[in-house]
Amino acid sequence: MTANWTEVDLVSSNSPPPIKKSKIVVANGVELTTTVSVPTNTVEDTDSTKSRKMHHEPMDVTDSNSMTNSKSHNEVVDTNLYSRQIYALGENAMLYLRKASILISGMGSVGVEIAKNLILGGVRHVTIHDTKNTTWNDLSGQYYLKESDTGKNRASVSLEHLAELNDSVTVKLLTNELSEETISSFDLVIITDASFEKQIIINEWCRSRKIRFTSVDGRGLFSYIFNDFGDEFIIDDVNGEHPKEFLIEHIGKDGDVTTLEGARHGLEDGDYVTFDEINGMTQLNGIKPLKIVVKKPNVFNIGSENVSQLPEYIDGGRCKQVKVKVPMKFKSLKESLEDPNFLYWDFAKLEAPNHQLQLWKALYTFEATYGRSPIPRSMSDADKLRELLKGSDIPDQAINQFSFQATGNLAPVASVVGGIAAQEAMKAVTHHTTPLNQFLFIDHIEALPGDYSAFDNAKLTEVDCAPKGTRYDGQAAVFGWKFQEELLKQKWFIVGAGAIGCELLKNVAMMGVGCSDKGKIVVTDMDQIEISNLSRQFLFRKNDVGLKKSECAAKAVKGFNDKINISALSLKVGADTESVFHDEFFSNINGVLNALDNVEARRYMDRRCVFYRLPLLESGTLGTKGNTQVVYPYLTESYSSSSDPPEKEIPICTLKNFPYEIQHTIQWARDLFEGLFTNPAESANQYLSEKDQFIKRTAQMNAGQKIELLTAVKKALIDDRPKTVEDCIKWARLLFQEYFYNSTLQLLHNFPPNHLTNEGIKFWSGTKRCPQPLIFDVNSEEHYNFVYAGALLQAQQYNIPFVLTDTEFRRILSTVVVPKYEPKSGIKIAVTEAEAKLNNEHHDTDDVVSSLENELNNLNLVGNNLLYPIDFEKDDDTNHHMEFITAASNLRAANYSIKPADRLKTKQVAGRIIPAIATTTAAVAGLVTIELYKMIDADGKLPNIPMSQFKNGFINLALPFFGFSEPIKAPVKTYGEKEFTLWDSLDVKGPLTLQQLIDWFEQETNLELSMLSSGVSLIYSFFMNAQKRKERTSMEVSKAVEDVSKIPTPTYTKYVVLEPMANSKETDEDVEVPYIKYEI
């Protein structure tokens, strides 16, 4: 049947007035009664065939906040909104998304998850389709459907909610049956909730019109994805990683290329590279990409035929990896069902893909035959399914479980498969990274409780899982109603309401966790919502910008399940908030879900969970990569038990004088910003407002620190203090001269271009790039931006109005007299870190300190107003922070002939921004909440679950790759004949005197206590004098701690943690024991 299209103009009463109305297209005959958020800055592009043909047009960045197609100029991308996604996918991929048109059929839990992710990701046109009406079974996984929506078309109900997610995406609705003509205008068709028979028909339509095709389905703990992107699909970038780039130490005539200073090149056999800046073998500079073979981590070969006839290599050279296009051919669905290609989900289940393909085929046949799905826990229906699988080698138990879950509908499973499928959709329309080839079958069967639990799934009956006409029917079909009742009573703490936090909240609300008077969800996040959050933190809208994340997220998730008992806090977690997150708080929760973006907070929460013996579900993402970790009491290691190696820091002398990568100049510019506009003003304000305290603090510093601090304060209050806007402009112009001309001349004076080291080696070689001074040019954008932004920020610091036209600014700038600079002799410039340290030590003189102190003492503090320190804010384009840093970085790059970076790249490095995308976040949050299912037992207890049931996960959606492993077991230690792990402590209940505690410890452990500490306070030691020991040991333990630490024990504290040092009574050797947990 062919749909007849009509166009309906809709304007949301909650949205700002649009520049033009967007067109939301509805199939003829559909009654639409809801209003929809509409795009406010969009350009219609309905010719998707043209879009496909234009796919490989070159793209460019047109200004600081937008990108556009360089030929058609018909689409502008908001880089503030999509910045984190651009860092994950790249600028070209983002532009291709903004031209794409995708149809998603089936608005069940899986379909709506895919639609949500693609709309957040900025796909230009998304059409949602469904012919099915809402049932109770839908409500356990489809978060845009409510009880009152039963009987209504799923797509129609979802339309408004999906359209609200992103006002730069046109969302369309179709409710008639699909036809070949209907699908003809799309770049990609995604089919969910459909049988293989129906999928094959649509797949053949797509192949005949060169439209890419994906199908997805999910039942209970099982799901799958299938891709067919045609016979001639081209991958532009197979892995999405930034091209490797490194310096060269040597190139031999045999073609061996050795990296400088043994650096790892990170290349693989078959990669391609090109070169520049080589001296000697200059013919390699700019050569077409050469295929390489890896020989060592720091050596690869480009083939002797490419270098044997060239002159000898002299020095220099930079090598850069080149991404080459890779063709990929897909088979049709019909062919794939007979001759499938599988990607493994879990390498511990090598038989699973083939078995699950047969199971899904049989399930679709069962439903076509009987007009329904198998009934949960019905052995009769399981036998019918088994009959359809006669002759297969699938174990009976596997068939039973698949049959039992055929009506299951789980939000976490939809989150996983929907996130992965949405990433595959992005690959289809962007050609960025490697698509799935071609089937991926997923199962999470370990989530079913075993005989270690009161909810053993083997004991479930049809009655235990029968639908009751509630929103949890789809989940009870899998786990049973008693399990569901326990979920409602669970109490969990979600730390963070950002991207992962939003997804976790969505999942727990749909699962029913904390959705009763006896249950509770507490969420905390101290951050406010920013524009850049909206492309992946789907609980927020534009009118939420500036509001607290936790409060908005809690309100939004109430819309998914109004029974959720949720409390929102805006506090960070740490020692200074333990008055809120105290002993009683942690004693009243079942576990913690971390959704944090920094290691320090993660480690803190990890320590708290270990102390209170609570399970912790940890997760994180980096672009298309994600990981999950289970921390379970008495079973696994903790998050802090292992850690990544620390990031390699850039040496100070490299930053100051010898940069050779753009990252160096960006970091230098960021440091310059803080050194000019943040730190000096803060120090000067401390001097002005509390001079006596300032002097006391500086007295504790060494001479070098004093000189640095006092010089900064003197400059801020005396030397550089402006009175007028003209002073600010002069200061900024002379700043340019100092950093990009004078300092370079001084460096070249100390080390001329032909300078040799004591060993006779060229000084300017290897990582040292010989600089050139920059002559100021007011017509150069970077030159002008540096002076303009610098002057404006200087004026802001001193509260001087800065209201100038461009003409006025240039006129004042032209009057600045720049003194001629003559390089000075005797100036020491550090070449190594050791020299830098030595230089600092050598200039530490009391005379310099005294001179600075005298000048500041002579300053009249009356009338000296406080300064306004400027904290770096990367996401506000009106504050000129990124303008200054980008200009400063690129000017320094020009000094050293380093390729400059655009504002977007500079912002990522300077702001230390982690790439992020909604697809990975959804998948990771789904994996985490599937692990939560495993932690449920009767009466809020933790099950005695085998380690093998848990899964730590690592995923890379770009490749794609999925890896799972059991958590690492908590290391076991011993003292005497007793074993203990990080989860154990020596628990004792007070009140006890310190002596009583010592006696108890020695009796309990059969060891001798030599020392006892609490935090940094030493409470007891064997070398204390007799009188002090007698006084101390007679005190109650908590009072003894207070006596030493001088800090009163807070009223909310139930426990004192004591660290004992003990030794054997027989050998006198030190013995490691658990800490003491003393209950006051």
Could you say which DSSP state residue 307 is in? T
H-helix or E-strand spanning residue 191: strand 188-192
Place of tokens 């031209």: 99
The DSSP secondary-structure symbol of 941 reads P
Nearest to 1078 by CA among 1007, 1020, 1006: 1020
Contacts of 495 (CB under 8 A, 6+ apart): 501, 523, 524, 525, 573, 592, 593, 594, 595, 596, 601, 605
Write down how long the chain is: 1080
Which single residue is written with the structure tokens 């997923």? 442
Q: 580: closest CA among 592, 569, 591, 594?
A: 569
Provide the residue type at 93 as one letter: A
Task: Determine the 3-state secondary structure of 435 from DSSP.
Answer: coil
Helix H or strand E segment including 105? strand 101-105
H helices present in 858-993, as ranges: 881-895, 903-910, 918-933
Q: 103 pairs with which residues across the strands?
A: 127, 189
Assigned token pair, 203: 């797949």
Report the Cα–Cα distance between both ends of the chain, in Å, rounded. 75
CA–CA separation, 994 and 785 (whole Å): 67
Say how far apart CA 866 and CA 856 lie, in whole Å: 15
Q: CB within 8 A of 696, min separation 6: which ones?
A: none
Query: Residue 317: phi, psi to the nearest 5?
Result: 115, 140
Distance CA 346, CA 724 (A): 68
| Residues ≥6 apart with Cβ < 8 Å to 25 | 5, 6, 7, 8, 127, 172, 173, 174
Side by side, the strands of the sheet bearing 256-259 are: 290-291, 272-279, 315-322, 245-251, 256-259, 299-301, 293-296
Residue with tokens 């033009």: 20
- Separation of alpha carbons 837 and 134, rounded Å: 71
d(CA 812, CA 795): 15
Cβ-count burial of 363 within 10 angstroms (0-12 exposed, 13-18 middle, 19+ buried)? buried
Angle at CA of residue 317, ends 312 and 319, nearest 5°: 120
Q: List all residues 6 or more positions away from 884 whose beta carbon is below 8 Å from its beta carbon.
A: 669, 673, 785, 786, 789, 790, 793
Residue 1002's alpha-carbon distances to 413, 848, 998, in angstroms, are 52, 58, 6
Give the count of beta carbons closer than 10 Å to the beta carbon of residue 574.
Answer: 12
Amino acid occupying residue 657? N
Is 653 among the catalytic positions? yes
Which of 219, 110, 617, 616 lies closest to 445, judged by CA?
Answer: 219
- Tell me the backbone φ, ψ of residue 1000, rounded to 5 degrees: -60, -45
- Tokens 């790892």 belong to 264
Task: Choose, from 609, 653, 728, 770, the residue flagged as catalytic.
Answer: 653
Tell me the HSE value of 48 on the side-chain side, using a 13 A CA sphere: 24
Catalytic residue ranges: 653
